[in-house]
């Protein structure tokens, strides 16, 4: 493992525990000392969508630009108007599935009509909280955890016109990667995950390859903020995952008549650069987990036992929550 400097020698549990505690506290200090602005590259791009765009066109734009979400801009009021994420498309699918006669409406749906869809299917609308880029990163993380969202828009005001500027959007993944890249302390996080009590093991939903994709999409909304559903075989061994972002590929081009497909068939639409399913065991350490975050675009770890059976999930927000609040 390419951790820098000398490897820490294995020592007794008390020392490991103390080291982990100090390391987490030090990472927290780091998060407090840096701002969201610091995470941004020197030069970067940001895709912004006008709220009067058609939903199906905005989907193509997201796919074309290889992004899964984009801030919305209301040209009428010159204001930031929330984020377009995969959950919006899931809502539209659900709406269409329950109202197959409304194809005309879905086809002509504009982004500013998404709120009506949310109402129609009774989904709690996300309150998109934004934060100023120069607020400490720690605050941005806390805000993300509290609003149960995976990303937070950075909004500033133009000095002259006093209008809002969407500066960028930070995700949990980018923040954790930033931590993994810049905090050397992560190598002291050597306690096994099992002891940290951060793995969700209860009520892990799963599906099988033959499950209709619409049922899986249902699961994605039901659990309120689940970003993926693991796919297991008959015995319960983990074989794949259906992610919320896979929905984008499914309804590409505004076609909603593939909803009868099974998950297995729907996965064939996935693009080639899929990073794969990341797993870990309860004996793994946060240092290794964050090392993987540093190297790969991973959004969750499925916890499996030695035989490959699914036992739990470790999401990025679980990790973030631990870093923000635990060991104090």
Partner 1 sequence: MGNLPSHPNRPHHKQSPTMSQNVKDVSMVDINEAMNDSQANDSDQNGSSVNPSNLTQSLSKMNIDDSNELTPQLSSRKSTLIFNDDFDETPSQHKHIEHQNNYDARRNVADNEDEDEDAVNNIITDRSDGSASSLSPESSTMSSGEQGRTQNVEYANTSQEGFNKGFSENQYEGSAHQSPSIKEQQPQPTPDRRPAMVPVEITWQQGGSKVYVTGSFTGWRKMIGLVPVANKPGVFHIKLQLPAGTHRFRFIVDNELRFSDFLPTATDQMGNFVNYLEIVSPESMQMMDYESNAQQQNQQKQNASNLQSSDNSVQQPQQQHHTTAPPQVRRQPSQSKDGKLSARSQLALHIEEDPDDMGNGYTRFKGEQQSKTDYEYTQDIPAVFTDPSVMEQYYLTLDQQQNNQQNMSWLTPPQLPPQLENVILNNYNKNAEPGSENNSGALPIPNHVVLNHLATSSIKHNTLCVASIVRYKRKYATQILYAPLQ
By three-state DSSP, how is residue 55 classified? helix
Distance CA 191, CA 10 (A): 11
| 2 scored as a contact of partner 1 (CB under 8 A) | yes
Nearest CA to 24 out of 284, 297, 290 is that of: 290
Per DSSP, the three-state class of 163 is coil
Query: Does residue 297 bind partner 1 (CB under 8 A)?
Result: yes
CB of 158 to partner 1, least distance (A): 10
What phi-psi label fits residue 314: left (phi over 0), alpha (psi between -120 and 50 degrees) or beta? beta
Interatomic CA distance for residues 72 and 50, integer angstroms: 6
Residue of 177, 191, 285, 300 that binds partner 1 (CB under 8 A): 177
* 237 phi, psi to nearest 5 deg: -85, 140
Under the criterion CB under 8 A, does residue 43 sit at the interface with partner 1? yes
Indicate whether 188 belongs to the interface with partner 1 (CB under 8 A).
Answer: no
Query: Exactly one of 45, 124, 197, 234 binds partner 1 (CB under 8 A); which one?
Result: 45
Q: Which two tokens stand for residue 101?
A: 């006669």
Nearer to partner 1, 45 or 328 (CB): 45
Site string for partner 1, 69-108 (x = CB under 8 A): ----x-x---------------------------------
- Nearest Cα to Cα of residue 208 among 237, 242, 233, 238: 233
C-alpha to C-alpha distance for 137 and 120, rounded to whole angstroms: 36
* Stretch touching partner 1 by CB under 8 A, among 37-45, 89-97, 237-245, 307-315: 37-45
How many residues does this entry show for the chain? 328
In 3D space, the residue among 175, 176, 155 whose CA is nearest the CA of residue 166 turns out to be 155
Indicate the angle between helix axes 86-98 and 55-64, nearest 10 degrees.
Answer: 140
Segment contacting partner 1 (CB under 8 A): 65-73, 197-205, 226-234, 278-286?
65-73
Q: How far is the CB of 92 from partner 1 (least distance, A)?
A: 18
User: Judged by CB under 8 A, which of 17, 25, 46, 258 binds partner 1?
Assistant: 46
Q: How much is the CA Rg of the chain, to the nearest whole Å?
A: 21
| Nearest distance, CB of residue 288 and partner 1, angstroms | 14
Nearer to partner 1, 98 or 295 (CB): 295
**Which CB sits closer to partner 1, 73 or 89?**
73
Q: Cβ 173 to partner 1, closest distance in Å? A: 8
CB atoms within 10 A of CB 159: 7
| Contacting residues for 33 by C-beta, under 8 A, at least 6 apart | 136
Residue 304's Cα: distance from chain center in Å? 21
- Residue 275 CB, shortest distance to partner 1, in Å, is 8
Shortest reach from residue 48's CB to partner 1, in Å: 5
**Does 61 engage in binding with partner 1 (CB under 8 A)?**
yes
The one among 17, 21, 25, 40 contacting partner 1 by CB under 8 A: 40
- Total residues interacting with partner 1, rule: CB under 8 A: 50
Alpha-carbon span 7 to 187, nearest angstrom: 8
Question: For 229-296, what is the HEC assignment?
Answer: EEEECCCCEEEEEEECCHHHHHCHHHCCCCCCCEHHHHHHHCCCCCCCCCEECCCCEHHHHHHHHHHC
Among residues 271, 283, 305, 325, the one that binds partner 1 under rule CB under 8 A: 271
The residue (of 169 and 217) whose beta carbon lies closer to partner 1 is 169
181 contacts partner 1 (rule: CB under 8 A): yes
- Residues of this chain that interact with partner 1 (CB under 8 A) are 2-6, 37-50, 52-54, 57-58, 60-61, 65-67, 73, 75, 133, 156, 165-168, 173-174, 177-178, 181-182, 184, 271-273, 294-295, 297
């Amino acid at each position: 493992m390419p951790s820098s400097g000398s490897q820490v020698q294995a020592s007794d549990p008390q020392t490991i525990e103390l080291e982990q505690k100090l390391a987490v506290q030090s990472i927290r200090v780091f998060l407090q000392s840096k701002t969201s602005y610091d995470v941004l590259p020197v030069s970067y791009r940001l895709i912004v969508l006008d709220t009067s765009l058609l939903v199906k066109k905005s989907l193509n734009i997201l796919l074309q630009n290889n992004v899964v979400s984009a801030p919305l801009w209301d040209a009428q009021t010159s204001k930031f108007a929330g984020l377009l994420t995969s959950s919006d498309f899931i809502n539209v699918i659900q709406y269409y599935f329950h109202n197959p006669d409304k194809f005309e409406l879905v086809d002509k749906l504009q982004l500013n009509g998404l709120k009506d869809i949310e109402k129609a299917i009774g989904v709690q609308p996300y309150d998109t909280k934004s934060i100023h880029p120069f607020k400490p990163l720690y605050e941005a993380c806390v805000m993300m955890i509290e609003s149960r969202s995976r990303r937070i828009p950075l909004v500033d005001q133009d000095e002259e016109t006093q209008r809002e500027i969407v500066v960028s959007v930070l995700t949990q993944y980018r923040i954790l990667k930033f931590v993994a890249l810049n905090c050397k302390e992560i190598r002291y996080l050597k306690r096994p995950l099992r002891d940290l009590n951060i793995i969700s093991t209860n009520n892990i939903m799963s599906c099988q390859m033959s499950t209709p994709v619409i049922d899986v999409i249902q699961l994605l909304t039901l659990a309120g903020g689940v970003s993926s559903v693991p796919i297991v075989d008959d015995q319960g061994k983990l074989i794949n995952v259906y992610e919320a972002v896979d929905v984008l590929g499914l309804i590409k081009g505004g076609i909603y008549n593939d909803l009868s497909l099974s998950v297995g068939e729907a996965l064939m639409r996935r693009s080639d650069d899929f990073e794969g399913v990341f797993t870990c065991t309860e004996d793994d350490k946060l240092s290794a987990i964050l090392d993987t975050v540093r190297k790969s675009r991973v959004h969750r770890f499925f916890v499996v036992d030695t035989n490959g059976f699914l036992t739990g999930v470790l999401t990025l927000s679980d990790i973030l929550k631990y870093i923000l609040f635990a060991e104090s």
